[in-house]
Amino acid sequence: MANSANDTKSSISGGDTTSQKRGGKLRYFMYSIFALLAVFFACDCDLSLYFAPYNNAKEKHFENQVIWVTGASSGIGAQLAKDFAISGAHVYLTARRLEQLEIAARECSVLGAKSVTVIKHNVLDHDESLKIANDIISEHGYIDVLVLNPGRTQRALAMQATIESTQTIMDLNFMSYVALVKAVVPSMLVRGRGSLVVTSSIAGKMGTPVGSSYSASKWALHGYFDALRAEYAHQGLHVLLVCPGPVVSEITEHAVKGEGKDDKEYKTENEVKMSTQRCSDLTLKALRYKFDEVWVSTQPFLAITYISQYAPGISKFLFKHVFGPARVNAFLHDGNVFDIKEALSFIWKK
């Protein structure tokens, strides 16, 4: 009898221990999930990129490399040029606005570029793109990195956008990139190495209301450059697609507007826009570690991008019933389409 009682107590005690262990594991799992979510919502890029060790251009990883930055007169392009300069690269800056290019070039020289060359360039002139590529290759023998950065955004509903405006966006945001690839990549393949940095957008990962043509041009970039990477990676070609969210720049000021909207001003102020310096830092880090694609954005845009990528059904529901109507209403009422709270307020008021 005594042994039976002891066995019963032992069994109960063993059961309690097992339950405690299971409870401890569950708590550990829940704490881990909460910690991961906390880290994610504090991030402004992919987690793998966020934790990659890198000290900006000060590492001198790009020292003596030949870098061609297109669309370098302002914004992301100008900042990338400066950071390549800090790293000690030979920097070529091209864009249409010569005065702004020269300002950026002077800064690059002060920051430590091995050499700085400014060329006025309209990327829609494909023959000119080929000539510039040939001139750079003639001087240095190669191009290490080509940054494809020119572009215009859009502020128009799909039915307001003209065929001509859509064609303008596609020519600049997509076809000019293809022409530059044709001009530069053959020499990279002969050499057996070279990198393309392609400025896309999170609008290339989801259909963006009030920017249908812009979004389409960015989707086109992903289709083309993903295919290009698959075809030529084994020959040493590295293709990096960078998908920024809202970044402090002049791009909204030059947005292609809808029919009858040319004189309309749109609010663009937003305290959650990423700085061009931060965007450049993350881009150079991704280039340093040869990432294929990175998303760089403040919250909540980064979270929305993840939902669009990994839960497309939920994303389409949210855009159809929440984000889409909110952004359209903000646009129609001269609100800030980048400010989700302000955009949603137009729905709550209804």
Q: Which residues contact 54 (CB under 8 A, 6 or more apart)?
A: 281, 284, 285, 288, 289
Q: How many residues does the chain have?
A: 350
Asked about 214 being catalytic, the answer comes back as: yes
Judge whether 38 and 61 are in contact, CB under 8 Å: no
Structure tokens at 287: 């280039």
Q: State the catalytic residue, choosing from 28, 92, 177, 214.
A: 214
Angle, CA 158 vertex, CA 307 and CA 153 arms, to 5°:
70
At residue 250, the 3 state secondary structure works out as coil
Q: Which residues contact 200 (CB under 8 A, 6 or more apart)?
A: 218, 221, 222, 241, 242, 243
Cα(57)–Cα(62) distance, rounded to whole angstroms?
Answer: 8
Q: Which residues contact 277 (CB under 8 A, 6 or more apart)?
A: 79
Cα(71)–Cα(75) distance, rounded to whole angstroms?
Answer: 9
Cα(31)–Cα(197) distance, rounded to whole angstroms?
Answer: 38
Structure tokens at 324: 């889409």
Torsion sign across C-alpha atoms 189, 56, 303, 161: negative
Catalytic residues, by residue number, are: 214
